[in-house]
Amino acid sequence: MTSRALCSAAFYTTFFCSLLFLSACKSTPEPVKSTYIIPAALTHLPADSANQGLDIIDIQLALGDRNLYLTKNGNIKLLDTSQCQLDISAHRGDFRQPESSYNAIASALNDNFNSVEIDVMLLKDGTWVNHHDSQTGRATVHYTGERYKVERMNRKEFAQLKLRDKDTNALLDERPISAAEAFKVFAAYRMPNQKLNVEVKSEANGQELVELDNMLRKYIGGDGFYYSAADQDILYKLRGINPYVYLGFIQGGHPTSVEKLSADLRRGVKNDAYYLDNQNNIELAGRYGTKRYRSRYKDYTSSSSLRKLHSKLGSNSGIHLDIRSYTQHSSVQSRAKSLGMKVYTYSLNGTDYHQSQLLKLGTNKLPDGVIVDATPYKICQRLFTAAVPAKRYQPLSNVGRYIASLPQDADFDRFDEMLGYQQEGYYLSLASGLKSIYSNKTKQVTNNTPTPLLEHGFPTITDEKIDTNTGDTIILTLPNGNTK
């Protein structure tokens, strides 16, 4: 109804302008101002919720019955995350957005992450920038195609970098941002309970770290950020600068995780010219895949190591572990808790593996937080079933009824894709891919027809009876005439 009304308004506006033109009227008529009033049934939804479109009220109410809602940009989000007792941190911002961009931070905040993790590095002129790799070439590219070590770049050279599209690897007309710009956009979009996890990836002296801390206090405020780093000395300096901020020590990836990552990179480069060209950069930037890594790996999960770490970093501190290290040392959580320390987990081998290991732990053995490349919905739904249908609303539209019919493991992060399977009765599962909504098995009809015998004693072959009323789709592939 809304779209028809707008079309009618446009028609009459055009018609009226035509009459004025024919009357030799040289003045431009005032544009028609259309004001849209949010339907009363949707006023309880967050400000970023979609409130226009065909059957939007029915769709939002059907989603709301599952603790979900549709946003204006087409994403599905949780209405309430209180049952998800876990600090979910967006690794390098929203994983769907280019790294080191405004959108990576803003989108993660809008998606209700508890915290957003970004990496900061120093240029040679002392400027702090939002960048992950030690070299350009993967997520950022210089316009000349030349590769640079970030620590050898100045501000002008850094401003000439272009970001890559994550899906196509195409260069974007967008540059990576400085640390100050990252802090400003975080401050502009954050809710009071959201924090910025600033991972310091450069060696820095006391004065440089003081400048970093001053910027964060200026733009975000003292309670809106915390630090993490793989270098204990950096964290120790930061403790002297800021006695109250949380400090998270990042223990290196488990050797098995590193070896698997290296193997995945080697397999990936065989069919992708871009990764083949950048293989060395990727491995160097992540400090993965070196032969000496196993000998350099050090575990800090023992009681004595945690006590030393706590003594060095202070009470408001924690340890961030590869999920393999966490699961292999299951008592690290209780050890850390006894010292007042937190434990976060991350994974070098993808979010699916990370989540599969968390599911095996059970909710009572989970870490305090996770750093992931996934949405809060996906994490909360798999670990805490945060989007359980209440079945208090009966939808009226086809899309609404489809939403209500979806099983509990439906992947609403891929809602647009799922709509393509609506007519066939299929959906996309969080863990198993394409599945049928109706899991009833095909009825097996027993063939009780006796097999008659011919005079010479051989039986007559009769067709088996097939029940064609099951409602399941049957796909037959026939060979074409060109098949040899």
In the chain, the percentage of residues whose pLDDT exceeds 90 is 67
pLDDT over threshold 80, residue 395: yes
pLDDT at position 452 = 52
With b meaning 16 or more CB within 10 Å and e meaning fewer, what string describes 464-482? eeeeeeeeeeeeeeeeeee
**What's the sign of the alpha-carbon dihedral 266, 270, 271, 275?**
positive
Over residues 462-477, the mean pLDDT reads 49
Beta bridge pairs of residue 368? none
pLDDT over threshold 70, residue 357: yes
pLDDT at position 26 = 42
Q: What is the mean pLDDT of the chain?
A: 83
CB 381 within 8 A of CB 430: yes
Which CB contacts under 8 angstroms, 24+ apart, belong to 335-338? 335/301, 335/302, 335/303, 335/306, 336/306
Greatest mean pLDDT among 3-12, 78-87, 403-412: 403-412
Lowest mean pLDDT, pick from 360-364, 425-429, 460-464: 460-464
pLDDT at position 362 = 84
pLDDT at position 16 = 39
- 120: nearest Cα among 48, 47, 182, 44: 182
Lowest mean pLDDT, pick from 160-174, 221-235, 287-301, 386-400: 287-301
CB 212 within 8 A of CB 204: yes
Over residues 17-39, the mean pLDDT reads 52
pLDDT over threshold 50, residue 131: yes
Give the pLDDT band of residue 32 (cuts 50, 70, 90): low
Greatest mean pLDDT among 209-223, 282-296, 460-474: 209-223
Greatest mean pLDDT among 141-145, 276-280, 354-358, 469-473: 354-358
Over residues 51-67, the mean pLDDT reads 95
pLDDT at position 479 = 54
pLDDT at position 31 = 53
More confident: 11 or 92: 92
Q: Which domains does the chain have, with CATH numbers?
A: 2-76+399-436 (no CATH), 78-384 (3.20.20.190)
Distance CA 427, CA 402 (A): 10
pLDDT tens column, 222-256: 999 999 999 999 999 999 999 999 999 999 999 99
Over residues 434-439, the mean pLDDT reads 86
pLDDT tens column, 420-435: 999 999 999 998 889 9
- 104: nearest Cα among 212, 187, 182: 182
**What's the sign of the alpha-carbon dihedral 36, 37, 39, 45?**
positive
pLDDT over threshold 50, residue 188: yes
pLDDT over threshold 50, residue 280: no
Give the pLDDT band of residue 207 (cuts 50, 70, 90): very high
With b meaning 16 or more CB within 10 Å and e meaning fewer, what string describes 83-112? ebebbbbbbbbbbbbbbbbbbbbbbbbbbb
pLDDT tens column, 281-340: 444 434 443 344 445 789 999 999 999 999 999 999 999 999 999 999 989 999 999 999
- The one-letter code for the residue type at 339 is L
pLDDT at position 30 = 55
pLDDT over threshold 50, residue 278: no
Over residues 406-419, the mean pLDDT reads 94
Distance CA 163, CA 176 (A): 6
Tokens encoding 98: 């280019």
Question: How many Cβ atoms sit within 10 Å of the Cβ of residue 36?
Answer: 9
Tokens encoding 6: 């707008």
Give the pLDDT band of residue 221 (cuts 50, 70, 90): very high
Distance CA 293, CA 260 (A): 13
pLDDT tens column, 112-129: 899 999 999 999 999 999
pLDDT at position 158 = 96
Over residues 178-188, the mean pLDDT reads 98
pLDDT over threshold 60, residue 279: no
- The one-letter code for the residue type at 409 is D
Give the pLDDT band of residue 169 (cuts 50, 70, 90): confident
**What's the sign of the alpha-carbon dihedral 362, 320, 199, 187?**
positive
Distance CA 358, CA 356 (A): 6
More confident: 27 or 408: 408
pLDDT at position 478 = 52
pLDDT at position 261 = 85
Distance CA 147, CA 283 (A): 15
Residue 437 class from Cβ within 10 Å (0-12 exposed, 13-18 middle, 19+ buried)?
A: middle
